[in-house]
Structure 1
Amino acid sequence: METETMNTAVKTASSEKPSSCLARQPILSKDEKVLGYELLFRESPQEDRFNADLEGGTRSIIDTLNVMGLDAVCDGRRAFINCSHDMLLKGFFQLLPAEKAVVEIQENVPVDERVVAACEQLRMDGYEIALDNFVPGDAREKLIPLANYLKIDVRRVVEQHCAALVAKHGANCTMIAQKVETRLQFIAALKDGFTLFQGYFFRHPERMRARHIPANQASQLRLLKAISAPEVDFDAVEALIKQDASLCYRLLRYLNSPLVGVSNTVHSVRHGITLLGERELVRWIRMATTLIMGQEKCSDLVLASLVRAHFCELIAPKVNHGSCDLFLIGMFSLMDAILEVPMGIVIEGLAFDAETRTELLGMKTGKPTALSPIYELMVSREAGEWDVVARHAKKLNLSLPFVNRAFNEAVSWAHQMTTAVPCEKK
């Protein structure tokens, strides 16, 4: 069953038809809960820059969202979409659900009577509006009464001006700090009064010290250790699953999901294990334990780890990855951020081979390894760093349409998995 599914997936991802270059950047609250994603788009793999603010780019984003589904792309959260002058006046955003779409008015949009009227209509229709890259003395100030969000680039606007903008407009608009890439930038923006933050700072945990892993997480790691052994002891695996009511529930939920399609009635944990088979069981345990261990963290970390895992799995047949399981490499690449401990402690005691250990540790130290191009491709693709994507795809002899199709499929698959193996939304 799994082989057939994977063959279909690889065949789909391998299609050389034009594919969308869609990436997303998370927007989070101060306690690191995801509010939504800004969507970034490049029209074709050959272009050198984002086109999210151009008519063609925005039109393509809307088309992609209608094909893939906004919930799949944004995990059920809001989509912040850049809007040019022409797109605003042509009303293309009416194709998207008002409760999920946020229209980002770009800094180069001239504020004339037609623009004001279009924004008023959007608000009447239930859409939210954000003013992107807002600066002191911005020409779009007359749109502030219609705006729900003001986005300020903290690398572009000095801190004292950021604080002044928040003090002036924070009572009427939700203030979003953009380009927050480090914990220090996050702390400074929080001090300035921002309530939402856009960037990847949360993937670099503040507390990366050697600490004991909590008991509930340690039990998940024991299960991961059991399935990493050269020969899986199914009695031990069954016993560990039975000790965790959450895992038992998730196993039964997964067996009854359309992704598996088991027609038999599952009457015991052992029966469920037998129905899955060793390979699918190992795969499911890796996903389920990641979801459970990540429940106390930003759900984007968990979702991103699933996207990475399946993306790596899809490109595996086309790249040289030695003895490493690329699904596992992708899945574990964010485990240090999920658990808030160094990667060395995460993999301590797990029966990973030396090559896998080297790769996982190399990702965090920046030390070049055999799989560094794969890791860099994975990270740059999710961040929408198109030039870096192109460079590493070329190193791996992968076409950009294939890379983009595989990534889009991985996003859809990860969304399906979080439905089939549910976890608490953060």
Structure 2
Amino acid sequence: MIPPTTVLAPAPPLIARQPIVDHRQQVIGYELFNRSRTATPNPAASDVLLVFTALSHVGAEEIVGTKLLFVNCSHESLAGGHLDLLNPAQMVLEIPPLGHAAQDEVTARLPILAQLRAQGFRLAFGHSVLDGAYAPWLQLADYIKLDMSALAAERLGVLVPYARRLSSAQLIAAKVETPQQHESAARYGMQLFQGSLFARPAEVHTQLLAPAQAHIIELINLLRQQAGTEAIEQVLKKDAGLAFNLMRMINSAGMGLRRPVNSFREAVMILGLRRLFRWAALLFTATRDGGPPSSVCQKAVVRARLMELLALEAGMDADQADHAFVTGLFSLLDAMLPMPLAPALALVGVPEAVSSALLQGEGPLAMLLTLATACESSDDAAFDHAARSLALGSTQINGAHLQALAWADHLADSL
């Protein structure tokens, strides 16, 4: 039996979203909450989980579509570097107040906040930013949330004009739970609203496939050593979790690419070593609580290598062989994730040839997949039919299968 290469997380992250609406109750954005905080006591790690979810799903209809995404942050995580991976145009970073707003501490954190805003991120603050101690932050505010459950009407009458006089921020009436609170906020001219009166936070079903931690560490080490693209590509190829998460991210709308990325090599070249390092470090934090090994993921890795070798034996070019590898690797994605294969593939953004093979059973990649699965199941009839269609002999096929098994064994031994 091939040793495990990938693990599945025992439970998906408990991420919820709540809409923020305008005066016509049209959604302008969603706030993302981490409801797994009891299992993630480190606030920076909790933020990483939220950001990784945003990174993998921003632009996806199931979370935000084209709306803004408000992400709660901690000061510990703001300088962590993983925000470099996100598209600032769609992100609003919610900045918490300091426990004790000493003037020197407020001033010390100002450069980080200013840098994030200069990068294109919008910044949101609670109404405590209107306290005198936070005056240096106020000019950076794009949004200010006023807690309707904590502020009396007379207090709103002071804070709203003050905020408008000293900042250009849009004001959000937060925690609006009753029609009376909504009317009060509107009376003071507030035009953005959030709270249970409009919608309660709804759980988001995230898809996060956890790679083996040893593989992530191996990737991180290669990136720190500025290894070549080929070495990095080999690490990605041997772990379905790494491959899934990278292709999910690179093809998300948040990356803003004009066309889908179809190969690991292209993904590495587009991201570059620095951003890929950030991503790997982020993935390591977000998936460090892995579950038991999955034989499904083991099978996917062997199948991918076998299909790549068979493609080359059948005279296909390097790009087709790479697509064959991707087809094999993601052919069991529905078993790795709790969802059907079609929407799972849509998350990754595979080439049309791969999609046709996996969903319609069409094209030469589909025949390679049939041959690979026949090798696994000892289905002689399917084996003979696929072999004839691809003009491959038994010696070629068996040799490729042995090479694929040996390759997987070698990968496992290197851990």
Please indicate the TM-score interval, normalised by the length of the shorter structure: 0.3 to 0.5
Higher-Rg member (1/2): 2
Q: Provide the TM-score with structure 2 as the length reference.
A: 0.43
Q: Provide the TM-score with structure 1 as the length reference.
A: 0.41
